[in-house]
Amino acid sequence: MEKKKFYLETYGCQMNEYDSHLVESLLTAAGFEKTESESRADIVILNTCSVRQHAEERALGRIRSVSSARRSREIAVIGCMAQRMGDELLAINKGVKYVLGTDSFYKIAEILKSGNGGQVVDISCREEPFEYESRPSGKSLSDYVTIMRGCDNYCSYCIVPYVRGRERCRPPERIAEEINRLDERGRREIWLLGQNVNSYKNESIDFPILLEYVLENTEIPRIRFLTSHPKDFSERLIDVMASDDRICKGIHLPLQSGSDVILKKMNRKYTSAQYLQKIRKLREAVPEVVITTDLIVGFPGESEDDFRRTLDMVEEIEYDSAFMFRYSVRSGTRAEKFGDDVPEETKLSRLDRLIQIQKKIKIAEKKMASHIGSVQTVLLEQPAKQSRDDARGKNDGGLNVVVRGGAEHIGEFVDVKIISSSYSTLVGEIINWQE
Ligand code: SAH
Ligand code: SF4
Ligand code: F3S
């Protein structure tokens, strides 16, 4: 009998990417076949995100386009928007057959197999820790390992705690086992994932200890992690980062706002001064560290003065890069009650001014140019777009590097002398390589 083919599309953050790998593993193990062609699929699975209105609109638009295609296919909506909307999705679009939330998507194989013709909505929540793991497939050099699910921080603007449930941490042994399996399958870099990795706790093991455990119990050459909440970002973590080259010198530390009034309303639990102090300590201990951030403009009540404080922080800190968002009301969150009082044009113009600060003052360009002349270790991941002889990869901090003549060393770590740079990429030449 011909295998049923599934096509899987993923929106949102790395957590969803990881869950999509799980779905792929579960379905292939159950006899389904993955296809990259939407039109040849028997079932289209959309793994969705709810973090901003725009993310949901995109997913709803995709559901419409899949359901109106000439060839009829089953549609499964999974992930955060499925969790948030549940039954509502069936009502919105008759083409949707399965709705599986963030804690029930692991049942996907049995549900698709039982195929009794009816629609299925399962957004039940399990409080016990997750016990399933992805089986690595493909040839990627880098992969994700989830160390915890859910979030207990309740930042007032954020939907994640409502759609991903309470924080649950995975035992260190399971994390190390998964990393070792990925290592055996050729991965050279792993990202430890959690909404706030700094609040990881498994019995007496916290996040810095977990990093030490992973260093001791695996041989994966590069370890990265995401996301760090500033309130829990500790000196012990800085020490562990500084202590071992296998821990990459890159950190994503979302500031969200530079105004203490807004930070308080956001329930972020740090002040701009405390944040700055942490950045200073981090840069003292790890001078080459690459720091990135997330920023929200137009949060309820944000005045011109509040916004200027965000600009000031961005100018002072000089992030290597920043993800910048317009505030989007999420129903059921605490900030919903604050009203959405910053007009859309103000949000847009603030977003633009913020982007200009990052770009026009050329913070990123200046920082990139400061690497010229230095030697960087780069994991070469894929051929470069511009020339077949060149390859691209990332340095220790996570910056993109194009390496001249690197094509024959893809999959290896190479030492590269940086010869030029642009806004987002360094260019270098190989001086040494390690197989
Ligand atoms: N757990 C991570 C990421 C959460 S979502 C963290 O704490 O940083 C990624 C980013 O989306 C957030 O950092 C925030 O900047 C942005 N975001 C979340 N909710 C939002 C909303 N309602 N409107 C606009 N941006 C939002
Ligand atoms: Fe959302 Fe805050 Fe949790 Fe991040 S830490 S997922 S922003 S509630
Ligand atoms: Fe991630 Fe979006 Fe869900 S950011 S956790 S996929 S709401």
Q: Give the mean model confidence (pLDDT) for residues 13-22.
A: 93
Ligand whose nearest atom lies closest to the CA of 193: 1
Instruction: Give the pLDDT of residue 2.
Output: 80
Instruction: Return the number of other C-beta atoms located less than 10 Å from residue 7's C-beta.
Output: 19
Q: Residue 346: is its pLDDT beyond 80?
A: yes
**In this structure, what DSSP letter does residue 105 have?**
G
Quickly state the pLDDT bin for 434 (edges 50, 70, 90): low
Q: Residues lining ligand 2, CB < 6 A?
A: 151, 153-155, 158, 160-161, 195-196, 229
List pLDDT tens digits, range 93-106: 888 999 999 988 88
Q: Residue 357: is its pLDDT beyond 80?
A: yes
Same domain for 386 and 301: no
CATH number of the domain encompassing residue 426: 2.40.50.140
Same domain for 193 and 294: yes
Concatenate the DSSP letters of all residues of 260-283 into one string.
HHHHHHTT----HHHHHHHHHHHH
Last residue of a domain, one of 323, 343, 368: 368
Return d(Cα 22, Cα 28) in angstroms, integer: 10
Instruction: Return the number of other C-beta atoms located less than 10 Å from residue 362's C-beta.
Output: 12
Range in 76-90, 116-130, 200-214, 264-278 the model is least confident about: 116-130
Quickly state the pLDDT bin for 235 (edges 50, 70, 90): very high
What residues pair up with 401 in beta bridges, in sequence order?
393, 426
**Mean pLDDT estimate for the chain:** 92
Is 131 within a domain?
no
Residue 9 near residue 46, CB atoms below 8 Å:
yes
Same domain for 340 and 192: yes
Residue reference for tokens 């990925």? 182
Residue reference for tokens 């909440």? 229
Q: Give the mean model confidence (pLDDT) for residues 33-45.
A: 93
Is 130 within a domain?
no
Quickly state the pLDDT bin for 361 (edges 50, 70, 90): low
Q: What is the 19 CA–ligand 2 centroid distance (Å)?
A: 18
Instruction: Give the pLDDT of residue 397.
Output: 86
Q: Give the mean model confidence (pLDDT) for residues 358-373.
A: 78
List pLDDT tens digits, range 178-216: 999 999 999 999 999 999 999 999 999 999 999 999 999
| Domains held by the chain: number | 3
Pick the atom of ligand 3 nearest to 14's CA. Answer: 1
CATH number of the domain encompassing residue 23: 3.40.50.12160
Range of the domain at 334: 142-368
Residue reference for tokens 């720091």? 291
Q: Residue 40: is its pLDDT beyond 60?
A: yes
Instruction: Give the pLDDT of residue 43.
Output: 94
Q: What is the 9 CA–ligand 3 centroid distance (Å)?
A: 14
Residue 293 near residue 322, CB atoms below 8 Å:
yes
Q: Residues lining ligand 3, CB < 6 A?
A: 12-13, 15-16, 49-51, 80, 159-160, 163-164
Segment (H or E) for 343 = none
Instruction: Give the pLDDT of residue 262.
Output: 98
Ligand whose nearest atom lies closest to the CA of 167: 2
Q: Give the mean model confidence (pLDDT) for residues 48-60.
A: 96
Segment (H or E) for 326 = strand 321-326
Q: Residues lining ligand 1, CB < 6 A?
A: 51-52, 157-158, 160, 195-196, 227, 229, 254, 256, 294, 296, 325, 327-328, 330
Phi and psi at residue 309, to the nearest 5°: -65, -35
Count the residues in the chain: 435
Return d(Cα 188, Cα 343) in angstroms, integer: 46
Q: Residue 84: is its pLDDT beyond 60?
A: yes
Q: What is the 256 CA–ligand 3 centroid distance (Å)?
A: 17
Pick the atom of ligand 2 nearest to 152's CA. Answer: 3
Quickly state the pLDDT bin for 360 (edges 50, 70, 90): low
Same domain for 389 and 349: no
Ligand whose nearest atom lies closest to the CA of 52: 1
Same domain for 300 and 385: no
Which residue owns the Cα nearest ligand 1 atom 11?
A: 51
Is 137 within a domain?
no
Ligand whose nearest atom lies closest to the CA of 59: 3
Its pTM stands at: 0.88
